[in-house]
């Protein structure tokens, strides 16, 4: 069977990590476009507020409180989505947590917990989604949110980076299996660069310094747009942010040079001039700070690279206009 992805207005979209950041922004934009959304997160109070806001604006939303690191809860969430709407068309694995600490200072329990959410949450969600989508007429989309850290190393957030490498390996392998089986499922890995979400404020911080993200940052809406593009058009991968893509290329093509530069990136993730107390964050439980899209650092709302990937027709049109302008200038120059 061939996958036939529907317009957002005809879709039911299940979204984990829907209580903050680009997960919340994706939920809002999907609902505004007419999709019926199933919002999954650990913070039930935040989910209820988001659901009520979406409904007040004319959208359709239901919520399910679940920890994606618990397989039984993810299975229950999938059953709830099917019970609520008769099925779903797109499943987005977006939930993520992090720890700011060097590898030597990261407790093993914390490292494991990062994987419970970031990796096992993706595994459990993917399997639950595929059991439904692979036999559904027209199929659907499975979208896993990785990171540019799926492709390159980083100090200070080593457990997060390792989990995103694992997400990439699992997602790419799963795609091959679905292709071999002829399943009508589009499987996309979305890889955002640094995004201006509350991730540094939510993360567990053991450094003793203010956690932050390295510039340049991108706005959460760009990630939401990439996710919703993949819900409607089969994509293999989508990297959010042109400069982030250049970093990935640099890490692959010139790894030794990249290492020399990136070894000093720690000061961009943990500001040594701004001491703060160590913080538990939301690694093991919600920290009461959900319900917001933007973090302390604001991201740029435009990425020409991402726009070209998600709107290739517009990109080609822009190139044609630029080409025509250049050609016209050359002709005028010759005539002059």
Active site annotation includes 160 = yes
Q: What is the pLDDT of residue 236?
A: 98
**What class does CATH assign to 8-302?**
alpha beta
pLDDT of 318 strictly over 90: no
3-27: average pLDDT: 98
86-99: average pLDDT: 98
* Rounded Cα gap, residues 202 and 289, in angstroms: 7
Beta carbons of 304 and 242 less than 8 angstroms apart: yes
Among residues 57, 21, 54, the alpha carbon closest in space to that of 37 is found at 54
102-107: average pLDDT: 98
* Cis-peptide into 293, omega within 30 deg: no
Q: What is the pLDDT of residue 139?
A: 97
DSSP classification of residue 103:
G
pLDDT of 228 strictly over 70: yes
133-170, pLDDT tens digit by residue?
A: 999 999 999 999 999 999 999 999 999 999 999 999 99
Percent of the chain with pLDDT over 90: 86
pLDDT of 323 strictly over 70: no
Q: Report domain extents, the chain.
A: 8-302
Confidence of residue 325 (pLDDT cuts 50, 70, 90): very low
Q: What is the pLDDT of residue 335?
A: 57
The residue annotated as part of the active site, out of 100, 119, 124, 160, is 160
233-250: average pLDDT: 94
Q: What is the pLDDT of residue 329?
A: 52
Torsion, Cα of 76, 78, 79, 81 (10° steps)? 120
Among residues 155, 157, 132, the alpha carbon closest in space to that of 142 is found at 132
Beta carbons of 283 and 204 less than 8 angstroms apart: yes
Torsion, Cα of 141, 146, 147, 148 (10° steps)? -80
Confidence of residue 299 (pLDDT cuts 50, 70, 90): confident
Q: What is the pLDDT of residue 321?
A: 47
CA angle 19, 138, 240 (to 5 degrees): 40
* Rounded Cα gap, residues 196 and 299, in angstroms: 5
Which distant-in-sequence residues (6+ apart) come within 8 Å of 290 by Cβ?
Answer: 19, 20, 41, 43, 46
* Rounded Cα gap, residues 306 and 42, in angstroms: 30
DSSP classification of residue 214:
P
pLDDT of 328 strictly over 80: no
Q: What is the pLDDT of residue 315?
A: 52
* Rounded Cα gap, residues 97 and 49, in angstroms: 21
CA angle 41, 290, 193 (to 5 degrees): 85
21-67, pLDDT tens digit by residue?
A: 999 999 999 999 999 999 999 999 999 999 999 999 999 999 999 99
pLDDT of 206 strictly over 60: yes
């Amino acid at each position: 069977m061939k996958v036939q992805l529907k317009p957002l207005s005809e879709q039911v979209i299940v979204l984990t990590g829907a209580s903050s950041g680009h997960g919340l922004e994706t939920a809002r934009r999907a609902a505004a476009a007419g999709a019926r959304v199933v919002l999954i997160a650990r913070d039930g109070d935040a989910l209820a507020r988001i659901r009520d806001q979406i409904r007040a604006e004319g959208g359709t939303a239901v919520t399910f409180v679940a920890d994606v690191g618990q397989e039984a809860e993810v299975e229950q969430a999938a059953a709830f989505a099917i019970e609520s709407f008769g099925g779903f068309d797109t499943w987005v694995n977006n939930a993520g947590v992090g720890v700011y600490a060097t590898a030597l200072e990261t407790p093993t329990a914390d490292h494991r917990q990062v994987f419970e959410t970031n990796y096992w949450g993706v595994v459990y969600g993917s399997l639950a989604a595929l059991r439904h989508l692979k036999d559904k007429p027209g199929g659907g989309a499975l979208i896993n949110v990785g990171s540019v850290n799926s492709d390159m190393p980083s100090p200070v957030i080593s457990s997060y980076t390792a989990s995103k490498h694992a997400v990439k390996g699992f997602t790419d392998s799963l795609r091959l299996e679905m292709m071999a089986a002829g399943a009508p499922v589009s499987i996309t890995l979305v890889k955002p660069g640094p995004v201006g979400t509350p991730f540094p404020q939510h993360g567990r911080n053991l450094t003793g310094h203010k956690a932050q993200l390295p510039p340049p940052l991108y706005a959460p809406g760009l990630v939401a747009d990439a996710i919703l593009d993949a819900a409607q058009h089969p994509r293999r991968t989508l990297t959010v942010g042109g400069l982030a893509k250049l970093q990935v290329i640099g890490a692959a093509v010139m790894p030794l040079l990249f290492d020399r530069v990136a070894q000093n990136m720690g000061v961009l993730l943990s500001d040594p001039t701004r001491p703060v107390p160590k913080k538990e964050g939301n690694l093991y439980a919600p920290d009461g700070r959900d319900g917001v899209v933007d973090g302390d650092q604001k991201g740029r709302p435009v990425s020409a690279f991402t726009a070209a990937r998600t709107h290739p027709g517009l990109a080609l049109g822009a190139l044609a206009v630029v080409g025509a302008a250049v050609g016209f200038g050359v002709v005028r120059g010759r005539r002059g």
